[in-house]
Amino acid sequence: MNVLLITADQWRGDSFGAAGHPVVKTPNIDRLAGQSVMFSRHFAQAVPCSPARACLYTGLYQMTNRVCRNGTPLDRRHDTLALAARRAGYDPTQFGYTDVAQDPRLHEGRDPWLTTYEGVLPGMSVRVRLPEDGKPWLSWLKARGVDVSKGLDIYLPEHGPADPPRGAPPAYSADDTETAYLAGEFLRWLGEQDRPWFAHVSFLRPHPPFIVPEPYASMYSPDQGPDFVRAATPQAEAAQHPYIAYSLATVQKTNFVHGASGSIGDWDDAARRQIRATYWGMISEVDAQIGRIMEGLEAVDMTDDTLVVLTSDHGEMLGDRHLYGKLGWFDQSFHVPLIVRDPGGRRGARIDRFTESVDIVPTILERIGAPVPDHLDGRSLVPLLEGAEPSTWRREAHWEFDFREVATGATEQAFGLPLDALNLAVVRGDRFKYVHFGGQSGGLPPLLFDMETDPGELTNLADDPAWRDVRLEMAEKLLSWRARHLDRRLTGIELTDAGPVAAGLERRKP
């Protein structure tokens, strides 16, 4: 079996046609979903990119892999999806990026891998590495006759100012995007394969900067779409929690619109709606290239021999809660798509059970016949792909967010708390969501939401005496979850006079 793992960065789980979005057009993804199993309540375990991908690639929660921020090294003791696939006989090959900061204990002196979080996942071969500086893509554009003399200023609109956003396109065309570049490189590589293969195509879009060529730049009107999910004013939003107040005051426009300056709070609703329309256009641009990849598989008669997994590392606030980016405890930041086309699985099914990004490693390993380590936090989705109804499946989703700033100490100073208190953990069930912060005594206050009556999470019930029992129950669930998933790499093994014995369905030699 071939394996194609596609990630589209910063893609909200509600923002494609098959998910029921009222505006976004994704005909190719919708077609793929019709041939696949779609998981409608799939959640990432951490944000931003490096922490999210550490969970995705190791099958371990953040509390175990301990990748807290972009730039936190991934401890080399952790196995990865790529290493496991390599042991199974594949040559896992990267197109794009994996954002894995290298373990500094394995590098010396002035090794350039110690100056970036854009390292390569251990076990991956690299066909195309596309870092933030975009140099491989820019070189490709130059060979196609596109003027790249201004470097990443290519993300500026071809005409007029970048801010306020107007939805103006850049100078390059829809055939010249980073997405088109990576799709083309994958298809070229595909034509070289004469044995089972494993590819990870890691698209940058719809990650900022928010700009896209025509026809996608004008595909959606800013007047389209639902209302933003938010309090009446940024001030009312900030009053809910100190972390929201901090984010509203510090998140900068330049993180989302190249050439802009100032705080995101300076944008009015016209700008916010235009940004959202551009983001939707970026999703449709990615959809077109995913269609191109699927057509490429069909052209070489590999569709029925290929496990296709389409997902994202994390979501995007997109103006909800007056915020942009991926942060906090919000569903918008953690709910992501997951579509799995399994040659041996069902077609056109939709699964509403809670699934998590840590489930992808055991799922892929089981489907390629590789051993699935007992210590992984994720669970294989293969039973769900085949139509089974596991009686013990999880009833909540869980995620973590660490907002320490090690290099600058900015959050430590802003909140007056030590680094190890600058984190939160979430348990999110059908009805309630509970958010617990590190350093609770004297630290940041908890949050409790009734998702049935308050799906926008605008009313915190944590301090209401009427909800005290629910808060306690949710806190106990979170504590039990952490206790069950502490690193158990060796905890299920005991050395005896007969040698090592491992726990399991049957006591066995490890």
Active site residues: 49
Given a contact cutoff of 8 angstroms between Cβ atoms, the answer to whether 32 and 339 are in contact is: yes
281 phi, psi to nearest 5 deg: -60, -35
- In angstroms, rounded to a whole number, what is the distance separating the alpha carbons of residues 496 and 270? 69
Helix 360-367 to helix 49-58 angle, to the nearest 10 degrees? 30
- Please count the helices (runs of H) and the strands (runs of E) in the chain: 14, 14
Nearest to 122 by CA among 170, 54, 177, 173: 54
**Residue 318 CA: distances (Å) to CA of 17, 25, 174, 229, 331:** 18, 17, 23, 10, 12
- In angstroms, rounded to a whole number, what is the distance separating the alpha carbons of residues 205 and 12? 12
Residue 264 DSSP label: G
- In angstroms, rounded to a whole number, what is the distance separating the alpha carbons of residues 281 and 339? 20
- In angstroms, rounded to a whole number, what is the distance separating the alpha carbons of residues 205 and 258? 14
Given a contact cutoff of 8 angstroms between Cβ atoms, the answer to whether 329 and 435 are in contact is: yes
Cis peptide preceding 73, ω within 30 of 0: no
| Partners of 129 in beta bridges | 96
Helix (H, G, I), strand (E, B) or coil at 206: coil
Helix 135-143 to helix 178-190 angle, to the nearest 10 degrees? 80
The residues near 493 (Cβ < 8 Å, ≥ 6 apart) are 500, 501, 502, 503, 510
